[in-house]
A = this chain, B = another copy of it.
Amino acid sequence: MINKLVEKIKKLNAPVVVGLDPMLNYVPEHVQKKAFDEFGETLEGAGEAIWQFNKAIIDATCDLIPAVKPQIAMYEQFGIEGLKAFKKTVDYAKSKDIVVIGDIKRGDIGSTSSAYAVGHVGKVQVGSKTYVPFDEDFVTVNPYLGTDGVKPFIDVCKEESKGIFVLVKTSNKSSGEFQDRLVDGRPLYEIVGEYVAKWGEEHMGDSYSYVGAVVGATYPEMGKVLRKIMPKTYILVPGYGAQGGKASDLKPYFNDDGLGAIVNSSRGIIAAYRQEKYAKFGAENFAEASRQAVIDMVEDITSNI
């Protein structure tokens, strides 16, 4: 799957991923109304609203983007009905040949991590049958529990030709509280980065590993160091746009081949219609506003790397 992701990024010349993190208040009134008219102001109605919202954005952008990254928390908050919308979104994006990165940030140990891996990027056995529960192409994984927590994901990914992105340095303000702590004079995120590189070495696609890393756009100096520590690691970069990361800061995340990083934007794309810059589209044409925001983002990033 890492080969497919790299190929699509090259072909589209678009090292970007659209974060499908639909807060209900991002969903235009007319989409909410239609869903609530049909299902009431219920969890089912909320699921329907975010699913229709996602579908329209996928339809309007699928020829431009290599990948989407649905953030499962935004669906899980609506319980079972929200998770049904997550599943529909994953399946629909895949039907449009878009790579799906499930932003699930799971992490546990042994058989428990295996269960998450099976549920999201693998197959589960029920008696004599096997099923594919959520079926993302990649998922994000939290490394706090060490190799025991990450290895079960890698094992399933190896079998299924899928992949993971391990949190190394996150984009938020307080990420430094633990991630930046100095261990023998070096920040912890560098140590985590070394583990990611080591895990990845044995799990390579053609040119990059299917064990990737998450490194926030808001810390370019750290991105530079981590790029060197993890030369064969694809870096998923959150924090561009709404969170403050600028395209001019992103060069260090890429290798000289122009590859090695994929930049996420969520709010900046999916709620583009609410920005002054795209207000002319109007809420009715929110998906077209998202399309234009993707075009602008790709231009912004590719002209800076």
Q: What is the interface of chain A, defined by CB distance below 8 A to chain B?
A: 21, 23-24, 32, 36, 41-43, 45-46, 71, 73-74, 76-80, 82-84, 87, 105-113, 115-116, 118-120, 124-129, 131, 133-134, 142-149, 167, 170-179, 181-184, 188, 191-192, 195
How far is it, in angstroms, between the C-alpha of A188 and the C-alpha of B183 when the chains are bound? Answer: 9
Known interface pairs A43-B131, A144-B142, A183-B182; A84-B76 also in contact (CB < 8 Å) = no
Contact check, A172 vs B73: say whether CB atoms are below 8 A apart: no
Q: What chain B residues lie within 8 Å of A128 (beta carbons)?
A: 41
How far is it, in angstroms, between the C-alpha of A148 and the C-alpha of B218 when the chains are bound? Answer: 15
Contact check, B146 vs A175: say whether CB atoms are below 8 A apart: yes
Contact check, A73 vs B112: say whether CB atoms are below 8 A apart: yes
How far is it, in angstroms, between the C-alpha of A24 and the C-alpha of B183 when the chains are bound? Answer: 41
Contact check, A45 vs B119: say whether CB atoms are below 8 A apart: no
Q: Which residue of B lies closest to A145 (CB)?
A: B170
Contact check, A109 vs B76: say whether CB atoms are below 8 A apart: no
Q: Which residue of B lies closest to A134 (CB)?
A: B79
Q: Which residue of B lies closest to A135 (CB)?
A: B79
Known interface pairs A36-B127, A41-B129, A105-B107; A80-B84 also in contact (CB < 8 Å) = yes
A256 → B minimal CB distance (Å) = 30
Q: What chain B residues lie within 8 Å of A76 (beta carbons)?
A: 115-116, 119-120, 133
Contact check, A74 vs B167: say whether CB atoms are below 8 A apart: no
How far is it, in angstroms, between the C-alpha of A32 and the C-alpha of B55 when the chains are bound? Answer: 38
User: How many copies altogether?
Assistant: 2
Q: What chain B residues lie within 8 Å of A147 (beta carbons)?
A: 174, 177
Q: What chain B residues lie within 8 Å of A178 (beta carbons)?
A: 143-144, 146, 188, 191-192
Q: What chain B residues lie within 8 Å of A177 (beta carbons)?
A: 146-147, 195
Contact check, A146 vs B24: say whether CB atoms are below 8 A apart: no
A142 → B minimal CB distance (Å) = 5
Q: Which residue of B lies closest to A144 (CB)?
A: B144
How far is it, in angstroms, between the C-alpha of A149 and the C-alpha of B144 when the chains are bound? Answer: 14
Q: Which residue of B lies closest to A120 (CB)?
A: B76
Contact check, B146 vs A176: say whether CB atoms are below 8 A apart: yes
**12 contacting pairs across A/B (C-beta < 8 A):** A23-B111, A32-B127, A42-B126, A79-B119, A80-B83, A83-B83, A109-B172, A142-B142, A144-B178, A146-B176, A148-B175, A178-B191
